[in-house]
Amino acid sequence: MTTALRRLRNYIDGEFRDAADGRTTEVVNPATGEPYATAPLSGSEDVDAAMAAAEAAFPAWRDLIPAERQKVLLKIADRFEERAEELIAAESENCGKPIALVRSEEIPPMVDQIRFFAGAARMLEGRSAGEYMDGFTSIIRREPVGVCAQVAPWNYPMMMAVWKFAPALAAGNTVVIKPSDTTPASTVLIADIIGSVLDELGHPRGVFNVVCGDRETGRLMVEHRVPAMASITGSVRAGMQVAESASKDLKRVHLELGGKAPVVVFEDTDIAKAVEDIATAGYFNAGQDCTAATRVLVQESIHDEFVAALAKAASETKTGAVDDEGVLYGPLNNANQLKQVKGFIERLPAHAKIEAGGEQVGEKGYFFAPTVVSGLKQDDEIVQQEVFGPVITVQSFTDEKQAVEWANGVEYALASSVWTKDHARAMRMSKVLDFGCVWINTHIPLVAEMPHGGFKKSGYGKDLSAYGFDDYTRIKHVMTSLDG
């Protein structure tokens, strides 16, 4: 006997709809490897409909005073709390994530982030009006950019949707968002939540729309004539494709792409504390995090002791089913990602040594053991390329100069961390590390008030913070004659 698959649908202009041509794709639970739902495989007709709805809703939403948009976002945050268990269940099934961790580590920050941007809606800062030419007064208007085409990833589908829609809506834009084809369930539920709030408060139904689909669907969204801005969180390859597509009609582009965060550990570090924190920051969410602490550089005098302690921590780190106790992370998101992680391990050079893990775990699902690899060189593939799995690499450096050279010696530049008791050294390192974030004696904490975004091939634009809000606005100069 087969169990009927749940049917997920697009959300367009306040209505849940199947794809216009009826095409669907199966959605697999990565903890079991079995399909649990179908989702629309949307085409041009669906994208056209969503964009038309967002375009029609934009003038009324744009013209609301900020306090009214704030009311909507605050009610959305309240509704997230009220329906938290539904969101947790959807995200756990989406990603195979441990239920307890979704409840404690994702719901509270998401609610906080929505409320932050609700406040940001009323803080439209600009330079003061003034006379910069005799007889004329200049003022600055900060306006929404228009319809935003947004593409969210599969590693944090629910939270990344929040990072996208909250600042966009707060600034007065309307949204068409596409979740990953492997993780649409929580975004469809978010559409139900936001749609109900918009209806209750009497706002246009097309303010927020969800279109499910694959890469082709995303391409259709980015190349569509309506959006003024395209925002994507994803791979470097996907980001480059979006930037190229958007360039054809000069859309604004917001890219949060890959990472290869260096974790620079100096000899004066408290090894036990550093290992505990780094292991958590490296293995959390199965290492499927652009900021994950997966590239460790350790000063040679403490290298062996550090590696031994990290290997022990890896052996004590637990992965497993969504309701298992003491689990730090669940499976990799999909079969292709499991294959990619395995490939990095299979292609390790002869001089590398697997200190812990290195293999798939269990007979079903896409679980991979917490892994430590030592003996690596700077130009090794696993050092240079993003693994996006529960794999921590370790290199040994001699001095601060070499640590900086190796830390910066990758194409990514999203996040980094420095571990030392020497304040002056920490300040020197924070200055020269070429990354959008530098943590000192910690790794991975994020707050709504501070920006998240990188340099180089990690993309451009900021999520979170007032800077993230600014990315969804445009600046207009208005000059008036004082002659009357």
Compute, in degrees rounded to 10, the torsion defined by CA atoms 352, 297, 270, 422: 160
Q: How far apart are CA 383 and CA 398, in angstroms?
A: 18
DSSP state of 284: G
User: Long-range contacts: 130-137, Cβ < 8 Å, 24+?
Assistant: 131/482, 133/479, 135/481, 135/482, 135/483, 136/479, 136/480, 136/481, 136/482, 137/479, 137/480, 137/482
Active-site residue, from 290, 355, 386, 437: 290
Phi/psi region, residue 463 (left: phi>0; alpha: psi -120 to 50; beta: rest), is: beta
Q: How far apart are CA 173 and CA 148, in angstroms?
A: 7
Q: What are phi and psi of 97, to 5 degrees?
A: -75, 145
The percent of the chain in helix, strand and coil, each rounded to the nearest 5, is: 40, 25, 35
Geometric angle at alpha carbon 306, from 301 and 311, rounded to 5°: 150
Active-site annotation holds for 95: no
Active-site annotation holds for 290: yes
Active-site residue, from 55, 93, 256, 386: 256
Q: How far apart are CA 281 and CA 410, in angstroms?
A: 20
User: Which positions are annotated as active-site residues?
Assistant: 256, 290
